[in-house]
Amino acid sequence: MIGSKQIDKVMCIACQNLIGEHTKRGLGRCLFRVQGTMIAEGKSQAEESMNKYKSPEFVPQENTKQ
């Protein structure tokens, strides 16, 4: 469980300032920026992993053990 005090000491990946140093408005803007970046960069990766799970070759972990 992560408390809000600990979150305050986490570095923001959008602007490299601590989360606790953000204004409420600034934090919203940073989160929006991070989300946009993640969607742009992660889209092709996400589609790739989705295809992996959909593929007939995919078998659940417990069935691969011998």
Instruction: Provide the binding-site residues for Zn ion, judged by CB under 5 A.
Output: 12, 14-15, 30
CB of 3 to Zn ion, least distance (A): 20
CB of 25 to Zn ion, least distance (A): 11
CB of 51 to Zn ion, least distance (A): 33
What Å distances lie between residue 51 and 1, 43, 58, CA to CA? 32, 12, 10
Distance between CA atoms of 21 and 11, rounded to whole angstroms?
10
Name residues whose C-beta falls within 8 Å of residue 12's C-beta, 6 or more positions apart in sequence: 18, 19, 22, 27, 30, 34
Taking the least distance from each CB to Zn ion, the nearer of 18 and 39 is 18
Taking the least distance from each CB to Zn ion, the nearer of 20 and 30 is 30
